[in-house]
Amino acid sequence: MKTLKIAIQKSGRLNEKSVELLKNCGLNFENYKSSLISPVSNFPLEILFLRDDDIPEYVQDGIADLGIVGENVIQETEVEVAYLQKLGFGKCSLKIAITNNSDIEDIKQLEGRSIATTYPVILDKFLKDNSISADIRTISGSVEISPGLGLSDAICDLVSTGGTLKSNGLKPFADVMSSEAVLIGRKGSENELLIQELIQRVQSVLRAKE
């Protein structure tokens, strides 16, 4: 029997809940901060700890059979993976935000403006769907400070409570997508039985939480 691999985030907002979910599925494994692979002692499974951005491609390419990642990352990386189960944590929304004193009142007024984001693919699609042509400035982080520095007129970023926006003098303006952590797999994997067994365990953990 082949050992399955599941990719989860190594550290960050999804790490703890992903580990907790797998432990609640009855899987025994060590969770050292330094290890990148952890074998599960009571199931033919290995856990790969990765940056979340890499997880969709690892699953698409068959390096991992399964993965836990935010829907936002899947959409942004444009991979072909199967959505197996929504997991109910890591909830957030990708929103366009503007400064509190902005003159923008309608999304059509984003026409010709600049928007800083780490999600250029999703933002581009949103703008096209709304027939808006704006200048997307792709940056790798700290998007919220960009309008204050005069780098952009607006931002497109993940928001959960809105606290970060507020403390940077920004207000949410338009919803681009909502997201939560999902269990993903590859279409046509050869380990169907084991995968089904794991999905069932995940689903019964989620049901017990309802």
Which positions touch Zn ion (CB under 5 A)? 52-53
The neighbouring-strand residues paired with 83 are 184
Backbone phi and psi for residue 81, each to the nearest 5 degrees, phi listed first: -135, 165
Which residue lies nearest ligand ATP, judged by its C-beta? Answer: 70
Task: Please report how close the Cβ of residue 179 comes to ligand ATP at its closest, in angstroms.
Answer: 5
For tokens 């581009």, the residue is: 124
Could you say whether residue 142 binds ligand ATP (CB under 6 A)?
no
Residue 38 interacting entry, from ligand ATP, Zn ion, none, C-beta within 5 to 8 Å by type? none
Q: How far is CA 81 from CA 37, 64, 101, 185, 191, in A?
A: 22, 11, 41, 6, 15
CB of 99 to ligand ATP, least distance (A): 19
Give the nearer residue to ligand ATP in terms of CB position, either 51 or 128: 51
Q: Distance between CA atoms of 194 and 152, rounded to whole angstroms?
A: 48
Question: Which residues, numbered 55-94, are part of the site for ligand ATP (CB under 6 A)?
Answer: 70, 72-73, 90, 92
**How far from chain centre, in Å, is Cα 68?**
9
CB of 26 to ligand ATP, least distance (A): 25
- Smallest gap from Cβ 208 to ligand ATP, in A, equals 23
Choices 7-15, 39-47, 77-85, 127-135 (CB under 6 A): range interacting with ligand ATP = 7-15
CA distances from residue 191 to 2, 42, 81, 89, 111 in whole angstroms, order as listed: 8, 17, 15, 26, 48
Contact 174, 153 (CB under 8 A): no
CA distance linking residue 137 with residue 33, whole number of Å? 34
- CB of 4 or CB of 73, closer to ligand ATP: 73
Q: Which residues bind ligand ATP (CB under 6 A)?
A: 9, 12-14, 51-53, 70, 72-73, 90, 92, 158, 160, 179
